[in-house]
Amino acid sequence: MFRKEAKILNSFGIHARPAGMIASVASTFESDIKLIKDRMEVNAKSIMGILSLAAGKGTRIIIEARGKDEKEAVSAIAEIFEKKFDLE
C-alpha cells in the first residue's frame, strides 16, 4: 500500500471537471485507488464518489493505492492536485 496527502489548492474545490479528471486518470491504473477525507473513503475511479466528498478549497485528502502500480498511481493523482486541476 502507498499513500500520500494532498491539499486542494484551487479555489473551486473538486467540482465536476476536476472530479472527471481524477476519475479518468485513476482509471488508467490497475491498482485500487481511494481518496480519503476525514472518515470518508471513496473510489478514485468514480466521479460520483469523488463529488460526494464535497471537497472545497483547503481540504486535505489522502490518496491511497493498493496494487501493482500503486506508487505511480498515487503520484499521478497527487500531481493533478498540485497543478490545481489545470490541464492546459
Partner 1 sequence: MIIKKGVPASLGIAIGKAYVLKEESIIIEPVQIPEEKLKQEIKRFRDALENTKQELETIKAKVLNVLGKQHAKLIDAHSLILQDPLITKEVPKMILVERVNAEYALSAILDKTADEFEKIEDDFFHERKHDLFDVGKKILSNLVSREKVSLENIKEPVIVVAHNLYPSDTLHIRESHKVMGFCMDLGSKSSHTAIFAQSIGIPAVVGLSDISRQIQSGEAIIVDGEQGLIILSPTQEIIEKYITKKEEILKQERFFQRFKGLPATTRDGHRISLMVNVDSMDNIEELVSLKSDGIGLLRTEFLYMNRNGVPSEEEQIKAYSVFIKAMPQSPITIRTADIGGDRAVQLGIKSLKDEINPFMGFRGIRLFLKHPELLKTQIRAIFKSNAAENVKIMIPMLSSLEEIQSVKNVMETVKQELAEECLEIKTIPQIGVMVEVPAAALILDSLLNEIDFVSIGTNDLVQYILAVDRINQYVSELYDPYHPAVLRIINLIIQTSHKKGKPVSVCGEMASDPWAIPILIGLGVDALSVPVKMCLRAKHSVRSMSFEKFSIISQNLLGVSTSVEVRKIVEEELKQQ
Catalytic residues, which ones? 15
Binding segment (CB under 8 A) for partner 1, from list 21-29, 63-71, 74-82? 21-29
In the chain, the amino acid numbered 63 is I
Choose, by CB under 8 A, the member of 1, 3, 5, 24 that binds partner 1. 24
Q: Verify binding: residue 13, partner 1, rule CB under 8 A.
A: yes
Give the list of residues 6+ apart from residue 33 with CB closer than 8 angstroms, or none: 26, 43, 44, 45, 63, 64, 65, 73, 74, 77
In angstroms, the CA 58 to CA 39 distance is: 17
Q: DSSP 3-state assignment of 26?
A: helix
3, 5, 56, 83: which one binds partner 1 (CB under 8 A): 56
Asked if 68 is part of the footprint of partner 1 (rule: CB under 8 A), the reply reads no
When binding is defined by CB under 8 A, the residue of 31, 49, 61, 81 that contacts partner 1 is 49
